Structure 1
Amino acid sequence: MEMPTPSPADQALHILEGSWSGQEKIHPSPFVPSGAVAFGRVVNRLALDGFAVIQDYQQETAGKVNFRGHGVFRYDREKKAYILYWFDSFGLPPSEYVGDLVDRVLCLTAITLQGHARVTWDFSHLGHYHYSLEVSPDGKEWFPSIEGRYDRSE
């Protein structure tokens, strides 16, 4: 039996692959009233013969790891959408983010226990990407939560 191979849509996620690190701006929120600056480290690796990308993330503030996350990215052929299954050290149930990848910009949204969330990875720049997490109480008006620039660190 011949195994299937990743489609161009599956392969588009391969832009995530690699080790990345960079400074993050954490905007003021009920969790961090005065905002903060953090350092993020991301390792993305191909999995399942190129049909998925596994992400391991850690955030440091004041030199200590204060948050960890684990994600699984894939393309869902039935939904014709990109999916991220996200688990983190807050201990909440996993989140499912859904969206599209257009012109090297991956934008996914989810409804979480805290409200609506939108994450964007912009790979339109060579050698680095811009990341943003926005939150919304209603899915209409969005507020910045985290922004960062990540450079390839491998």
Structure 2
Amino acid sequence: MGNARPGPAHERLGALVGEWEGEEEFAATPWAPAGTARSRHSFRSGVGGLAVIHDYAQVRDGEPFDGHGFFTADPGTGEVVWFFFDGVGFPPDVPLRGDWDADGVLRLAKTTPRGQARHAFRFDGDTFEHEIDVRLGDAETFSPFARGRFRRV
């Protein structure tokens, strides 16, 4: 059995590849108070072009926090999937799923027993914005959780 070959969905994920640094603002959650962080995203191509491997690191109030994941395309649906595990410690029981919208924004979402999360990645040349909105517990609406702006380094 030979390896699968990357398709257009995999190639589009190439927009992420690179080293990115920036600032993030966070709302208060059950896990941490509101605050700001200096963060770095490192994205590299892997698995013969079928995945983008993601390393994330931040420093907030002098405390480090990190995460690791990968993006790929679901061969059955063509959707982008993102498996991510971070220092909060919850296992990635389901990936975030989504796609690029008509404006070129990568939108991903997932539901877990703790709530729902929606992510948006907006790229503009050597910058990108990452927004996270959450709906925790019995909340009826989504609320901003994180807003970050990053520059390619």
Q: What is the TM-score when the length of structure 2 is the normalising length?
A: 0.89
Q: Which runs of 5+ in 2 are unaligned?
A: none
CA shift in 2, pair 1:50/1:120, >3 Å: same
Question: What SS class does the counterpart of residue 10 from structure 1 fall into?
Answer: helix
User: Following TM superposition, where does structure 1 have runs of at least 4 consecutive aligned residues deviating by more than 6 angstroms?
Assistant: none
Q: How does 1:134-153 map to 2 (within 5 A)?
A: 134-137=133-136, 141-153=141-153
Tell me how far 1:29 sits from its aligned partner: 2.8
Equivalent residues of 2:9, 2:78 under 8 A apart: no
Aligned residues: 150
- Counterpart position of 1:96: 95
Which residue number in structure 1 is paired with residue 53 of structure 2?
54
Q: Which amino acid aligns with 1:40?
A: S
Query: When the two structures are superposed, what TM-score results if normalisation uses the length of structure 1?
Result: 0.88
- 1:94-139 deviation per Cα after TM superposition (whole angstroms, max 9, x unaligned): 141001113431111011232001111111x121000011101469
Return the alpha-carbon distance in structure 2 between the equivalents of residues 142 and 10 of structure 1. Answer: 29
SS of 1:29's equivalent? coil
Percent identity between the two aligned chains: 34
Alignment check: 8 A CA contact 2:21 2:40 kept: yes
1:2-151 matches, cutoff 5 A: 4-33=4-33, 35-65=34-64, 67-94=65-92, 95-102=94-101, 103-123=103-123, 125-137=124-136, 141-151=141-151
In structure 2, C-alpha distance between the alignment counterparts of 1:105 and 1:140, rounded to whole Å? 25
2: CA distance, partners of 1:53 / 1:119? 17
Return 5+ residue gaps in structure 1 as ranges: none
- Evaluate the alpha carbon distance shift between residue 47 and residue 36 of structure 1 in structure 2; reply closer, same or farther with a 3 A threshold: same
Verify the 8 A CA contact 1:13 1:53 in the aligned structure 2. Answer: yes
Q: CA deviation at 1:68?
A: 0.9
